[in-house]
Chain A
Amino acid sequence: MMKVAHLELFKKLVLSSLIIFLCACGPGSRLTYFHDPNMDFAAVRSVAVMPFENLSRDQMAGERVRDVFANSLLATGAVYVIPPGEVSRGIARAGILTPANPSTEEIEKFAGIIKVDAIITGSVTEYGEVRSGNVTANVVSMNVQMIEIQSRKIVWTASATRGGISIWDRLFGGGGEPMNDVIMAAVNDVLDKLFM
């Protein structure tokens, strides 16, 4: 009787170890975020998504991720996102030199032209294929932050990484998820942290 109980325990131990092992091998998502506890996010009705800083090798990475982010944010229906053409006009009129990292004065000027409650800036730190041995997969790493116009304070930041080589890719190959799906997943991770 005692032997049977030991066997059951051993089986459970092996199974749980296997699950933990497989989860640890997966690419998963890494996510860090900050929420200003004093900020009333319901007061933010309209936002302008500034061009993202591109720190990757792909020239279009910043624009692609920004576009998916802006459309995803608009699709939530929670805030109104200013069209990118209008944001470009605001940047040109305010004379912002580095739209990805505007100064306080530049934000003030920009807000005077484009009437918004907050601006969102961001950067794409990793975008493209990663290789390990003969296996490749797509990966995206991004950071975003929301700056409230009235206080000019950062009220929310989040970063996410998605994609990479999974245990499945290592064992069976396949090249990982398509890049657009990886971007969507990373953006969804980030937005989940805004509305939590």
Chain B
Amino acid sequence: MMFSTNFSCKPSRLLFALLVCLFSGCSAANNQTRSATGDHPIPANKPIVAVLPLNNLSSTPVPLEQIRQLLSKSFETQGLTILPDETVEKFIIKHRVRYVGGLDEMLAENLRYETGADAVLISSVNLYKENPPPKIALTCRLVSTGKNPKILWMDGVGLAGDDSIGLLQLSLIEDPKELLHKAVQYLSTSLASYLSGKKYLPVSRRKIIKFWPQLFYRSPVFELDWKHTVAVVPFFNLSENRFAGEIMPIHFVNQLLRSENFAVIEPGIIRDLLLQMRIVLHNGISLAGSHDLFSKLDADLILSGKVFDYQESEGTSGRAKVDFSALMIERRTREVVWACESHNEGDYGVFFFDWGKINTAHKMASEMVASAVETLVE
């Protein structure tokens, strides 16, 4: 009583006590930074990260090694210890790693015990165009090594040189290297923000409404009372982009991770299981296939879908086009509990001077998927 009376009388003491509390809170937070999913802590003392060679999903020649080096340097400045390239190369050769778009359980375990890496950086180039205006789309995720690998952080960026040309085209980016640096900088800042314990930036309500799916269904039996674990399988690709079936699931993994209601299984584990069990995803996953996957995975939901269009805009006058449908099968009922249909074009809702035009399919797909995920949790 006396204590409280004293403090109420002297504001300077109260301020001092508040500062002590604040600093003690900060030091506790610094000991262990929280991850994207919130479940798996990223080791605080300079975690060792193995940067895998980039997965090229752009259908064009890409300076993969240059981008990899840029990412490594940029992430090193954020407090990560990057495993030397030679060590990663030796590991890849020893284990005959041919697929670098994901990490299966065996590789994750071997990587931890043979190289001492705490996490792996898996990156993909979804778009790379050097012709003016240049365009680039990158996706990165940090996956823990050892038993039961988990996605710790994930983000993606899609940029075009003419995204914001400004007055008299003064802000037009014509140099692909400049655009690449901008993309890497974005990813690096996103990682730094996560390492400091901040959450992902929410997608604006206006964009969610703009890209709201044309059609969706949510079963009344589907409940969001607990955190669901989702397995995202490759999409059935009917588009002209031959990697669209791999790119769309990456968007879904990225957006589902941002929701507090979902934990997402590392896509590399799912790919490995599909190959092991020889499950063919013709027209999406069958109930028999989902039964097999559920028996091996600790997942509550399987997300599958089809891509009809994943088209990048050509030049300055072209328009990006994305058209997909997705559905979720639940473990308990073995029924479709959610389905959606979404299609958009980059110039949708654009009337004057290309204001608001989206120049990359990556950016548009990302926002469309964010809206689709919103229909799941809303």
Contact = CB atoms under 8 A, between A and B. Distances in A.
Given A75-B217, A180-B214, A84 B308 contact: no
Given A63-B238, A75-B215, A85-B289, A180 B323 contact: yes
A178 B325 CA distance: 17
B8 interface: no
A180 B343 CA distance: 7
B345 interface: yes
Interface of A: 60, 63-64, 67-68, 71-72, 74-75, 77, 80-81, 83-89, 92, 178, 180, 184
Interface string B277-298: 0000111111111000000000
A67 to B, nearest CB: 5
B217 A77 contact: yes
A72 B304 contact: no
B308 A67 contact: yes
B274 interface: no
Given A83-B285, A88-B282, A184 B238 contact: no
B306 A67 contact: yes
Contact of B341 (A67, A88, A89): A67
A68 B289 CA distance: 23
A12 B284 CA distance: 58
A129 to B, nearest CB: 16
Interface string B324-350: 010101000001100111010100000
Given A67-B341, A75-B339, A81-B336, A87 B283 contact: yes
A92 B283 CA distance: 12
Nearest to B345: A178
B243 interface: no
Given A64-B308, A74-B217, A85 B282 contact: yes
A195 to B, nearest CB: 15
Contact of A184 (B214, B286, B327, B336): B214
A71 B343 contact: no
Given A64-B308, A178-B345, A71 B283 contact: no
Interface residues of B, number: 29
Contacts of A88: 282-284, 286
Contacts of B200: none
Contacts of A86: 286-288
Nearest to B233: A85
Contacts of B284: 83-85, 88
B91 interface: no
A89 B291 CA distance: 13
Interface string B299-334: 000001010100000000000000101010100000
Contacts of B308: 60, 63-64, 67
Q: Count chain A CB atoms within 10 A of each CB in B220, B282, B283, B287 and give the residue with the most.
A: B283
Contacts of A72: 215, 341
A63 B285 CA distance: 16
Contacts of A74: 217, 336, 339
14 contacts: A60-B308, A67-B325, A68-B341, A71-B340, A72-B341, A75-B215, A75-B216, A83-B286, A83-B329, A84-B283, A85-B287, A86-B288, A88-B282, A184-B215
A94 B327 CA distance: 24
A74 B308 CA distance: 19
A75 to B, nearest CB: 4
A85 B339 contact: no
B301 to A, nearest CB: 13
Contacts of A81: 336
Contacts of B282: 85, 88, 92
Contact of B286 (A68, A85, A178): A85
A74 B216 CA distance: 9
A4 B286 CA distance: 73
Nearest to B282: A88
A88 B285 CA distance: 9
Nearest to B308: A64
